Structure 1
Amino acid sequence: MSDRTQVAVRSQDRGWADNAVRLIEADARRSADTHLLRYPLPSAWGGDAGAALYLKDETTHITGSLKHRLARSLFLYALCNGWIGEGTTIVEASSGSTAISEAYFASLLGLPFIAVVPASTSSSKVALIESQGGRCHFVENSSQVYAEAERLARETGGHYLDQFTNAERATDWRGNNNIAESIFAQMHDEQHPIPEWIVVGAGTGGTSATIGRYIRYRRHATGLCVVDPENSAFFPSYAQGRDDIVMTASSRIEGIGRPRVEPSFLPGVVDRMVSVPDAASIAAARHVSAVLGRRVGPSTGTNLWGAFGLLAEMVAAGRSGSVVTLLADSGDRYADTYFDDQWVGGQGLDLAEPAAALVEFERDCAWA
């Protein structure tokens, strides 16, 4: 054994990493917080003193969706862990809003970005990823995206962001870049500042984990309700207390349904889960789009279906209070799918019954 002190140094350009963090933080400061909108409910429900519904509008991020927050957190997490350096190729398994937002941040830092996507990904989604400076790498089966993203990261000497594992780790649920803190701050001067419920989709699991942890950290009485579409593993996993459930069919609601239980999903912080039929998600997205005068995405429809059910429950019990949910992304991205009657019919979906239920709900707060 040597009797000399030994020193090993790994060469890293701290200056580049410091500037990368600065660029991301500056980008955040240039953007005001997203708006909290009051959804118009019938005055017969009690006005301000009765039930109230609020929508956290995440479509106002520069990349147009809730996933902008996640992408920012994933990049900061990887930079501060020393996993990203100058010239690092960034890889992700995503064909949706997360990839669009991650491509934006990679471009901001001058880094190449590859999104591993199923071959069935729509040309409009591919175009959105490419418009932010990314490129798409196609696989035949959606189940291959995880392994292929890992392989590409190894092959290029790059970094696999792995949103499904790192979503709950990357966001500081006590404050920094925290959607929960923002919601409660914006609700401060409302009639019912502490919501009865916050309703979100599962997705990666990161948003529900952040909000659930924050509620407990601040000791709020708010309940967290997670909504899940058909053919997604989260609801049966929660209901059965298992984390090994794998779905054979794919979810038709982009952004929230997953074939497996992702590592970032924390069932212990969830107070209630609701499984929402796909027809109901789409009907709700169309209904809310008409009410607001602008299109909202299908996962927003899933959120609102869950929120409407909770509001009806509160009104039936004679309880006043507020419910908050998210406008996750714009419906303009889905003009050729969820807002196209031919596409919906081709999926074997009939929107008539849930559409009628929504009309009845806003008329007399009835909810089957």
Structure 2
Amino acid sequence: MNRQNRVWTEEAIRKIEAETKRSADTHLYSVPLPESWDIQLYLKDESTHRSGSLKHRLARSLFLFGLVNGWIHEGSTIVEASSGSTAVSEAYFASLLGLPFVAVMANTTSPEKIRLIENFGGSCLLVDHAAQVYEAAQEMATKTRGHYMDQFTFAERATDWRGNNNIAESIFGQLTHEPNPIPRWIVVGAGTGGTSATIGRYLRYCRHPTELTVVDPENSAFYPNWREPQGTPCTGKPSRIEGIGRARLEPSFVPSVIDHMIQVPDAASIAAMRHLHTVAGLHAGPSTGTNLWGVWMLISEMMAKGETGSIVTLMCDGGERYEGNYYNQEWISAQGLDPAPYEAAIAEFFETGTLPPVTLA
């Protein structure tokens, strides 16, 4: 790297670090549960980042990783394969550094996310199938002589799992004065696998007894590969829950740091997303609903065993990104999804402390 490039890289890193210093931590909300349960639920609201989602942390880490490795230079076109939220966050950081940005996404990505990418100065290349995003992103990076960020490979190694204000360190810092400051469970979804890898490693590094549950949408490849780690790698289908679930086992997914996985029906994710707005007044996206369905299952099991304690999960992004699909009943019906039986199960759960099995017609 010549001195001119080194000077630009140093200034780029300074801008990202300055953005971090200007940013307050995200809120950790206490979600109301029946007092008699003696279980506390905390929801870390990642939608309050400047780029609006949990992926703000990942995008910051990926840019720093690319800069210190000498992969991103002045004028580099940044290219990413994404289901939307990572691309929004990367478009924000590319704009901060004055770099062009191209997001490669499936044409089913919500129009709200596309507009956000464009508002940050990025452009979008839409492909017909989610499985095409990887090759198309690499081709675009080669064509522009730019840098393919490749979140699905580098997410698990770009973030410092020892601390450095990662999300796990933030959670434990915010719980210090709570009744049960060391949670029984932390529940997250898997999109790249980076968040679960960071949290799982941090729990072991700090010797916390907290266990990590990863929730996965139906048809995703992560759950069957975690369940049968020695078997032939499984493939899945493109997820109907934007932001989590993948049709292939991504390189950043680290199953060995995960204590428990739950496969969540897509309609259950939507039901739990809706219920959060009713019970807590929080307007979240569908991946948050996936997290919450897993939480309700775990609390039901804790109640059955007479256990008490706390659980932490994430509000990954805001519901305003999904008004045209997951908050649109016509769209939901067109996908063949019926949240009603799961909504009834959640209502019964809050009455009895037991989440009943859902029988579909």
Q: Which range, TM-score by smaller chain?
A: over 0.9
Percent of matched pairs sharing the same residue: 61
The one-letter amino acid paired with 2:293 is W
Aligned counterparts of 1:279 and 1:64: Cα–Cα separation in 2: 24
Computed over aligned residues only, the root mean square deviation of the Cα atoms, in angstroms, reads 1.2
Counterpart position of 2:276: 288
1:189 equivalent to 2:177? Answer: yes
Aligned counterparts of 1:122 and 1:36: Cα–Cα separation in 2: 27
Query: What's the TM-score, normalizing by structure 2?
Result: 0.96
Q: Does structure 1 retain, via aligned residues, the 8 Å contact 2:83–2:243?
A: no
SS at match of 1:207: helix
SS at match of 1:13: helix
Aligned length: 355
Counterpart position of 1:328: 316
The one-letter amino acid paired with 2:273 is A
Q: Name which of structure 1's ranges 79-88 and 124-133 shifts more when overlaid on structure 2.
A: 124-133
Counterpart position of 1:222: 210
SS at match of 2:102: strand
Aligned counterparts of 1:69 and 1:157: Cα–Cα separation in 2: 26
Counterpart position of 1:4: none
Counterpart position of 2:28: 36
Q: How does 1:118-129 map to 2 (within 5 A)?
A: 118-129=106-117
Q: Deviations over 1:16-57 (max 9, x none)?
A: 100100000110111110011101001222xxxx21111111
The one-letter amino acid paired with 1:350 is D
Q: How does 1:100-179 map to 2 (within 5 A)?
A: 100-179=88-167
The one-letter amino acid paired with 1:244 is P
Q: Does structure 2 retain, via aligned residues, the 8 Å contact 1:203–1:255?
A: yes
Give, in angstroms, the shift of residue 11 of structure 1: 6.4
Q: Does structure 1 retain, via aligned residues, the 8 Å contact 2:110–2:325?
A: no
| Partner residue of 2:233 out of 244, 248, 252 | 244
Aligned counterparts of 1:218 and 1:98: Cα–Cα separation in 2: 28
Q: Does structure 2 retain, via aligned residues, the 8 Å contact 1:95–1:126?
A: no
SS at match of 2:287: helix
Give, in angstroms, the shift of residue 12 of structure 1: 5.4
Q: Does structure 1 retain, via aligned residues, the 8 Å contact 2:268–2:342?
A: yes
Q: Does structure 1 retain, via aligned residues, the 8 Å contact 2:83–2:242?
A: no
Q: Does structure 2 retain, via aligned residues, the 8 Å contact 1:243–1:261?
A: no
Q: Name which of structure 1's ranges 120-129 and 253-262 shifts more when overlaid on structure 2.
A: 120-129
The one-letter amino acid paired with 2:130 is S
Q: Name which of structure 1's ranges 352-361 and 115-124 shifts more when overlaid on structure 2.
A: 115-124
The one-letter amino acid paired with 2:10 is D
The one-letter amino acid paired with 1:168 is E
The one-letter amino acid paired with 1:24 is I
The one-letter amino acid paired with 1:323 is I
Q: Does structure 1 retain, via aligned residues, the 8 Å contact 2:285–2:318?
A: yes
Structure 2 gap ranges (5+): 357-361
Q: How does 1:61-72 map to 2 (within 5 A)?
A: 61-72=49-60
Q: Deviations over 1:248-290 (max 9, x none)?
A: x321100011000100000000000000001100000000012
Q: Does structure 2 retain, via aligned residues, the 8 Å contact 1:295–1:332?
A: yes
Aligned counterparts of 1:271 and 1:200: Cα–Cα separation in 2: 12
Aligned counterparts of 1:255 and 1:186: Cα–Cα separation in 2: 26
SS at match of 2:208: coil
Q: Deviations over 1:171-198 (max 9, x none)?
A: 0000124100000111111111110000
The one-letter amino acid paired with 2:317 is D
SS at match of 1:257: coil
Aligned counterparts of 1:100 and 1:358: Cα–Cα separation in 2: 32
SS at match of 1:359: helix
Aligned counterparts of 2:264 and 2:208: Cα–Cα separation in 1: 26
Q: Does structure 2 retain, via aligned residues, the 8 Å contact 1:246–1:261?
A: yes
